[in-house]
Structure 1
Amino acid sequence: MKRLMWLSWSALCASLMLGPALGAETPLATDGPPRSGQAIPGQAAQESAPVDARAMAVLKRMAEYLAQAPRFRVTMRTAYDVVQDSGEKIEFGERRMVTLSRSDGLRVEVQGSDEQRRLVVFDGRMLTVFDAGENVYAQVEKAGSVDDVVRYLVQDLQVRVPLALLLVSTLPAELEQRLTSLDYVERDALTATPTDHLAGQTADVDFQVWIATGDEPLPQRVVITYKMDEGEPQFRAELSDWSLNPEVSPARFTFEPPQGAERIAMLARIRRAEADKPQNVGPQSTKETPRTPEASGSTGGPSK
């Protein structure tokens, strides 16, 4: 049975398909078209105006609110489909706690439905990816901002970071650049807090997002459909426990290896334009050969 791992793996070498830049991580999506005969409010106007003005105002308000937040913490309960060779879709899940401080760093704690725990930490100078199950970690010096390291994870390491765009300060411009259509669906009163339900498209994904209607226009739910992938798998996320002013010590963004933890290689993908240039493909650790699941004997069970 196939299983997709979204953030790290025993070799900690990126190999997942993402598409250009942050494109596949456009942080929003849709669970399909309306049922036959069911109209979306404003659908007639959409034929001449693919981006609905009301929906765009709601989305921009959310994007600007998040982009301007100096720090935040959120819990994401996510689920994603993996299309099997038979065409069957199998759902797997994760719980992520994201802590972001634009001046200090980023911390992402991940627990999978298979009970595996992983960690990504960035302190402004060093990026660390840790797999607790394997008790291995990889590090690379990467001075810069949170925006810089998110792009490095997605573009260079090819790590699939769900909702990566929600983490960057350029969120408003990124969304506007990628949108090809956007609709206002309804005011949803059945969510934990009243939300504006939007549906839209980019070149690669369809998306839906539910945004709180109050003074804090934060995303509460997201559904993404990867319409260019075989079987059109979906990614779904419930976002809760938002805190826009968490007390975060800089120590939260540093990594102390547990006893017996092994440092292994982190490899960055060579960009196509640079493929002909002789160079190292990425920062290396003290280990001469990066391990792979096959080399470490991980052959049974779902393939992530």
Structure 2
Amino acid sequence: MLAASVSVPVTRAQAPAPAAASEPGATPSGASAVDPAAVQALKKMGDYLQTLKRFAVSTDATGERVLRDGQKLQHTARAELQVVRPGMLRARISSARSDRYLIFDGRTVTLYAPEQKYYSIVDFSGTIGELIDRLEEKYGVELPMTDLFRWGTPAASLDNFESAMYAGQARIGKDLCDHYAFRQGKIDWQIWITAGEHPLPRKVAITNRGDEARPQSVSLFSWNLKSTFDDASFRFTPPSGAKRIEMVERKSR
């Protein structure tokens, strides 16, 4: 079950990309109001993300687990990605409980657990987006930050919001960001997008309204669009003493 432990233990945003700001501080008059400018901002962000061919991005994520008595326990994880589109990816996912690597060179995908020195390799040729879907469907493996590859594609629908609003501006690190808030079903989520010519997502906060305790996850993103890593980063050589094991397929539902 090496593969199943690769995902980052936080909730994911299932949404599009933020839109150009309408008037700062403007909010919809009713719970069902959808500001077209907020939706357009998401589209602008998604379109920009799809233009990025070589980059590195990391996220520090904080999530909440709710106990039966309503008490919340907070947990954290970190994920780091190196990406060359369309078909090379290196991911490291680390927390207090585990450290995992996923390496995709365009022909094979490797999952490696350095502490246990176990690794699995399966053949796969396709795009990163296709790899994400394949790993989830066949092996139950959820990669971190998958929405970064779905925003700006048909997989991120822009027409299913119950509400969408522009919430003003804020600084995330040194970046001035436009802040948007959306409601979809039992999920409320917010996103902070760098203002200006490079609309990168810098923060995402997700609240589960389906749980009366309303647990929340928050992810902070750091970007490097001028990364110096080379293609050797996407080749895996088993360390001395490492043992190859089979990647187990998920059971049919």
| Alignment TM-score, normalising by the size of structure 2 | 0.83
Measured in 2, the distance between the counterparts of 1:257 and 1:57 equals 46
Matched, 1:41 2:26: yes
The 3 A distance-change label for structure 1 pair 210 and 136 is same
Partner of 1:99: 82
Partner of 1:12: 2
Matched, 1:66 2:40: no
Partner of 1:78: 61
The 3 A distance-change label for structure 1 pair 70 and 55 is same
Asked if the contact 1:196–1:210 (Cα under 8 Å) also holds between the matched residues in 2, the reply is yes
Read off the aligned partner of 2:130 and give its amino acid letter: D
Measured in 2, the distance between the counterparts of 1:239 and 1:27 equals 16
Read off the aligned partner of 2:46 and give its amino acid letter: A
Identity of aligned residues (%): 30
5+ residue gaps in structure 1? 1-10, 18-22, 29-39, 273-304
Measured in 2, the distance between the counterparts of 1:143 and 1:73 equals 22
Asked if the contact 1:67–1:172 (Cα under 8 Å) also holds between the matched residues in 2, the reply is no
Read off the aligned partner of 1:101 and give its amino acid letter: V
Measured in 2, the distance between the counterparts of 1:245 and 1:211 equals 19
Q: For 1:264, which of 224, 245, 248 is the aligned residue?
A: 245
Partner of 1:90: 73
SS at match of 1:167: helix
CA RMSD of aligned residues (A): 2.8
Read off the aligned partner of 2:4 and give its amino acid letter: A
Read off the aligned partner of 2:248 and give its amino acid letter: L
Deviation sequence 1:162-205 (CA, Å, 0-9, x none): 43111247546514255443211112246531111111122352
SS at match of 1:79: strand
The 3 A distance-change label for structure 1 pair 140 and 75 is same
Deviation sequence 1:113-171 (CA, Å, 0-9, x none): 34x32111111111111111211112211211101111122333223334311124754
The 3 A distance-change label for structure 1 pair 13 and 69 is closer
User: How much has 1:220 moved relative to structure 2?
Assistant: 0.9
User: How much has 1:271 moved relative to structure 2?
Assistant: 4.8
Alignment of 1:217-232 (within 5 A): 217-228=199-210, 231-232=213-214
The 3 A distance-change label for structure 1 pair 111 and 239 is same
The 3 A distance-change label for structure 1 pair 196 and 130 is same
**Alignment length, in residue pairs?**
242
Partner of 2:181: 199
Rg larger for: 1
Partner of 2:195: 213
Measured in 2, the distance between the counterparts of 1:130 and 1:221 equals 28
User: How much has 1:86 moved relative to structure 2?
Assistant: 3.4
Asked if the contact 2:5–2:141 (Cα under 8 Å) also holds between the matched residues in 1, the reply is yes
Partner of 1:123: 105
Q: For 1:143, which of 125, 129, 154 is the aligned residue?
A: 125
Matched, 1:246 2:227: yes
Read off the aligned partner of 1:106 and give its amino acid letter: L
User: How much has 1:13 moved relative to structure 2?
Assistant: 4.6
| Alignment TM-score, normalising by the size of structure 1 | 0.70
Alignment of 1:24-35 (within 5 A): 25-26=13-14
User: How much has 1:218 moved relative to structure 2?
Assistant: 0.5
User: How much has 1:47 moved relative to structure 2?
Assistant: 4.8
The 3 A distance-change label for structure 1 pair 52 and 124 is same
